[in-house]
Amino acid sequence: MKKVLVFLVVILTVLSFAKTKIQFWHAMGGWRIEVIQNMVNEFMKLNPDIEVEVQYVGSYEEILAKTVSAVQAGTPPHVVQLNEISTQKMVDSGVIVPVQDLVDKDPSFDVGLFLPQVLNYYKVGGKLYSMPWNSSTPLLYYNKNLFKEVGLDPNNPPRTYSELIEACRKLVKKDEKGNVIRTGITWCLYSWFFEEYMALQNQPLVDNNNGRTAKATKVVFNNQAGLNFMNLWNTLRKEGLMINTKRADWTAARQLFISQTVGMLISSTSDVALLMTESAKQGFELGTAFLPVPDGTPRGGVIIGGGSLWIIKQKNQAEVDAAWKLVKYLAEPGPQIVWHQATGYFPIRVDAIQKLQAEGYYKENPHHLTAILQLLTSVQNYNTNGAIIGAFPEVRDAIETAVEKMISGTLTPKQALDEAEKNANKAIKEYF
């Protein structure tokens, strides 16, 4: 009996010193893998009793698919980074620990310091379900050297659609055979830009206040606002002022801009750091500006895109606690500033921005400032808080498919909107 007791004591001591192991899955490829690993290493230094396995799992879609299988197999990861459009799906899933519950229990954590623009996106029914982390908005990038070359004012980027089209026309350059070797603009074929352009015109994407006062039942983008953007896209394409990429091919769009094949690019603010380095390498001066709006339309605002951190339910409470510690750490000002400077994603906290401002960071990095100002000057309402839809991936697919048909000349902008509306509504109805 004594022996057994001694044995038990030994086992318990060993266990109490044992590290809590948690898994953190993220979707940030490239050089960002190392940035995240370093941030987590810092965390582990501060919390020697927690061991975090960081894994770059692939795209947001792949993370979601793999999380679904892992949960079903009974071995869920602890912290997963998912994109903003998974929000409703995860809220409905019943497999997560809402961050709000952990915030309420933890007096050391003050969510009041977060940017309201960011919090408003991730709060559903007043409750915060996931920890906002990498937040971005679209931004207009332009090549100041090319602007000068064709006689455009490099300090006065286009603000309206007609100014945008005019600038594109000037940027077109042809070789002696009449082939276009340089043109105006590109953005990757991604429904996110369509959604942003609805918000920029202060319009919702779906009913019930963008799905925020009750679950969305149908899309409401088939109107003049939606048509404005589709018409712009179609005009740019027809006149050869824009190069279209494959679906969601961010890299291709960036390459076109970096290789100076196009003079302007609409892409995520998360590309700021990368484009600053690349433009310097290519020897051109980078400019950034707010997104142009349709002529005569008052500016609404931009919606937060990007991702947030979700804590998945675990059998062992110690693991949830460890996961919360990690999530909390990654949202602190220090790591947020590191992350912001390395990528261009916003610091999600007011105190982090203030600290950088005081250090004079934004004077030296005006592009990071443009990105933040565009967000801070956005009107705050349901339209710019962004839509939440359970079937968001299908809605995006419906919009992208319709756009592809429009730019291949099969559908007119109006027909494309009709088709997107029909398929999106079907998906919303079928969501389960």
Partner 1 sequence: MRRKLLPYLLLMPTYVIIVLFIYLPAYDSFYSSFFKVSVFGNRRIFVGIQNYLSLFTDKDYLASVRFTLIYTLSTVVISIFLSFFIALLLDQKVPGSRIYRTLVFAPYAVSHAVAGALWGFLLNPVVGHVNYLTRIFFGIQTQWLTTRPFAAYSLIFASIWKTLPFNIIFYLAALQGISSEVIEASIIDGTNSWTRVWKIIFPLVSPITFYLVIMSIISSTFQSFAIIDVMTKGGPGGYTTNMIYKLFMDGFRFQKTGLAAAENVILFFVMIIITVFYFVYGQKRVHYQ
Q: Rule CB under 8 A: is residue 298 a binding residue for partner 1?
A: no
Q: Rule CB under 8 A: is residue 387 a binding residue for partner 1?
A: no
Distance (Å, whole) CA 56 – CA 61:
13
Of 175 and 364, the one with the shorter C-beta distance to partner 1 is 175
Q: How many CB atoms lie within 10 A of CB 385?
A: 25
Dihedral (CA of 43, 44, 49, 55) sign: positive
* Residue 57 Cβ vs partner 1, minimum distance, rounded to whole Å: 13
Q: Which two tokens stand for residue 150?
A: 């064709």
* Residue 418 Cβ vs partner 1, minimum distance, rounded to whole Å: 14
Contacts to partner 1 from residues 101-160, by CB under 8 A = none
Of 79 and 356, the one with the shorter C-beta distance to partner 1 is 79
Q: Rule CB under 8 A: is residue 172 a binding residue for partner 1?
A: no
Closest CA to 424 of 211, 199, 248, 249: 211
Q: Which two tokens stand for residue 200?
A: 């920029």
* Residue 237 Cβ vs partner 1, minimum distance, rounded to whole Å: 10
Q: Rule CB under 8 A: is residue 261 a binding residue for partner 1?
A: yes
Element (H, E) at 239: none
**One symbol per residue from 63 to 92: x for binding partner 1 (CB under 8 A), - otherwise; what is it?**
-xx--x--xx----------------x--x
One of 74, 94, 283, 298 touching partner 1 (CB under 8 A): 94
One of 394, 412, 414, 415 touching partner 1 (CB under 8 A): 394
Residue type, 251: T
Q: Which stretch binds partner 1 (CB under 8 A): 111-119, 145-153, 193-201, 391-399?
A: 391-399
One of 37, 55, 93, 314 touching partner 1 (CB under 8 A): 93
Q: Rule CB under 8 A: is residue 373 a binding residue for partner 1?
A: no
Of 23 and 385, the one with the shorter C-beta distance to partner 1 is 23
Instruction: Output phi, psi for 305, to 5 deg.
Output: -120, -175
Of 61 and 106, the one with the shorter C-beta distance to partner 1 is 61
First to last CA, the chain: 56
- Residue pair 22/326 in contact (Cβ under 8 Å)? The answer is yes
Residue whose token pair is 């001694």: 6
183 forms beta bridges with: 262
**Count of positions on this chain that bind partner 1 (CB under 8 A):** 42
Can you spell out the DSSP letters for 262-326? EEEEEEEGGGHHHHHHHHHHHT--EEEEPPPB-TTPPP--PPPEEEEEEEEP-SSHHHHHHHHHH
Q: Rule CB under 8 A: is residue 179 a binding residue for partner 1?
A: yes
Q: Rule CB under 8 A: is residue 177 a binding residue for partner 1?
A: yes
Residues 6+ apart with CB under 8 A from 425: 218, 219
Where on the chain is the footprint of partner 1 (CB under 8 A)?
61, 64-65, 68, 71-72, 89, 92-95, 177-180, 189, 243-248, 252, 255-256, 259, 261, 391, 393-394, 397, 400-402, 404-405, 407-408, 410, 427, 430, 432
